[in-house]
Structure 1
């Protein structure tokens, strides 16, 4: 299977050896960040630095003039990725013989929530999640669609991978995160991720729900969880806590909202892209899940996009629902962490890739070539030679 390695521009820029070293791993392409959230990243081989702190969500290229005058617009990066950092890195990777695909993070932006608090998801208790833009709000949707089209189709790119193109919720790993004191499970996470901004309240009303009563019901359903009672997993747990009909109504609203955003964003990318440009989504086959791997309906998303990138570290079972609906030529990319310090297992990459192939994977994604140690990358090179 063909493989692609995730990279940040700062992994490449300023290191004349980096692009060739990535190519020497045996990957065919690089999935290079063009729009990314705030992060702190190790750069273990770079000749000029060891830690890069990206202070806020940013585009890693100069944003276009069409953003002028818009209230919601992307911010350029600071000194961690100055100028056209993406373009510089993309050129070096292309010169090393790699295809470059952009990596675009969308509905995950703490700076947007800080600067424009009204854009954020609001839970049933009235708490805002500044890292999670509410994808039901028209202005936020317009911003995300425009950002997807611009950040995805950078000069020299041959495809894109869109991350966080759906609902974001409580689970985030925010800076110095302290939210693991109570085990919420799938059901609790869903209830804590339901948004109660004005647009979502209108959406719930359109499903026949009274939004105030719904918020009361969510808070009441969570009371036993706060006291330590376990919540059942999967969707049955949500129905048990909230009731089958109201749970189904909230999911119908959220599923429809996410689907329409995904359709709009993919269409906007395709309108801006040349022929043959591939559009993939980082996706979870359970539509009510929130996060970087957006919850989707497999049949729907494969009718919209050219394929999906599916998290497979720890097991590749999430591939199977997509494999049942994939058409010839569509991409099912198994995303495997190859950084030991992040819970990955580069030493078992050959076995993990073989299992993913059996379950329908057509390609591999390796997270993350810039973060991995020399030992991890040596294991990757060996595995790809035998792949």
Structure 2
């Protein structure tokens, strides 16, 4: 079974990339999904010999070709400084049996959002959502195309895998110490993150949508939720059917995003372009990939753009992993990778890991990807090797 693992560059640099490549090969891992740009993060690194934790703002882990970029440019990681960790790793992996893919997170960047508030998504109330750059914004589109080309051209990656190169969702995927003490529910979460920046509004207006009605409906629904006058479990589809301006407004951005993803594919070629499908939070079993439209994704269009998808099936219950993989295979006509979080809080034993792997394979996964090299304890890495060896 083809198997990959996500990895942060600091762990590979600290342990020695040649040694890591050899170790992964021994475990049966044939590919590393290497973070080239990433959101803000603190990691716990159980087997890192240099540092047991790492803090970073959203940043890049390579030295970008600044001539490619316009208003927005990648923020080079401060700890890395003048070094080029991605370059060091790609050089070290040359000739290794372990291939490299770029794991690129372009638009989930609180640092870019703070520095460029005009490029961020805007809530229905006009608030800048600093964790997310808006794909409708021309400066953001230019930045995304340049980043895709920069990553693909300057490094020897067999594929560029993108995560959250879309409108993201709701309140985002974490930024700081968030104090949300009102239950938004699925509808409130969706509406809170529905972008009403000037570019999204202009696109919708051009498509004939009553933007003012859409925004007013979204604001009214959120205010009603804040006041307890709208149930937290209000059905999203039913509500949208009663508020067609919001439904049509949300529909417009799917075309915008599909066109941008086509541009990314062109910039990345001849390397493969793969995309991550992610709904809900860690271990959230409530929303499968059929809710991807809330990110602005059109799955039918995506099938014609990408060379593969990875469904992030981070669930304790193997039956939910099965459902994620099956739904992905049904809804997209491309190879499917099952992403498995091989540690806390999802898994606590080799037996549970094996159950997840076997379930994903039986459901039709074409390959597996594990999260993640530096953040897993030694024993969990050994579990991966043992289970991969057992199922061959």
The TM-score normalised by the length of structure 2 is 0.87
1:31 is aligned to: 33
Q: Deviations over 1:124-163 (max 9, x none)?
A: 1121111111111112111111112212444222112111
1:239 and 2:240 matched: yes
1:250 is aligned to: 249
Whole-Å Cα distance in 2 between the matches of residues 96 and 304 of structure 1?
A: 30
Q: CA deviation at 1:233?
A: 6.1
Whole-Å Cα distance in 2 between the matches of residues 85 and 155 of structure 1?
A: 12
Q: CA deviation at 1:256?
A: 1.2
2:326 is aligned to: 320
Whole-Å Cα distance in 2 between the matches of residues 138 and 145 of structure 1?
A: 11
Q: CA deviation at 1:19?
A: 3.2
Change (3 A) 1:254 1:79: same
* Equivalent residue in structure 2 for 1:287, among 285, 289, 292: 292
Kept in 2: contact 1:9–1:81 (CA 8 A) = no
Q: CA deviation at 1:81?
A: 6.5
Kept in 2: contact 1:183–1:230 (CA 8 A) = no
1:18 is aligned to: 20
Change (3 A) 1:95 1:346: farther
Q: Name structure 2 gaps, 5 residues minimum.
A: 279-288
Q: CA deviation at 1:118?
A: 0.3
Whole-Å Cα distance in 2 between the matches of residues 185 and 81 of structure 1?
A: 42
Kept in 1: contact 2:309–2:335 (CA 8 A) = yes
The TM-score normalised by the length of structure 1 is 0.89
Q: CA deviation at 1:214?
A: 2.4
1:356 and 2:355 matched: no
Secondary structure of the structure 2 residue equivalent to 1:288: helix
Whole-Å Cα distance in 1 between the matches of residues 341 and 235 of structure 2?
A: 25
Kept in 1: contact 2:211–2:245 (CA 8 A) = no
1:160 and 2:165 matched: no
For structure 1, which segment, 119-128 or 218-227, has the greater mean C-alpha deviation from structure 2 after superposition? 218-227
1:103 and 2:108 matched: no
2:284 is aligned to: none
1:343 is aligned to: 346
Q: CA deviation at 1:313?
A: 1.9
RMSD: 2.2
1:375 and 2:379 matched: yes
* Equivalent residue in structure 2 for 1:49, among 28, 48, 51: 51
Q: CA deviation at 1:351?
A: 1.6
1:206 is aligned to: 206
Q: Deviations over 1:200-251 (max 9, x none)?
A: 12123234333333222111112332234433466415416xx342132112
Q: CA deviation at 1:26?
A: 1.5
2:390 is aligned to: 386
Change (3 A) 1:6 1:350: same
Kept in 2: contact 1:133–1:168 (CA 8 A) = no
Q: CA deviation at 1:95?
A: 5.2
1:58 is aligned to: 59
1:259 and 2:263 matched: no
Whole-Å Cα distance in 1 between the matches of residues 126 and 301 of structure 2?
A: 32
Q: How many residues align?
A: 370
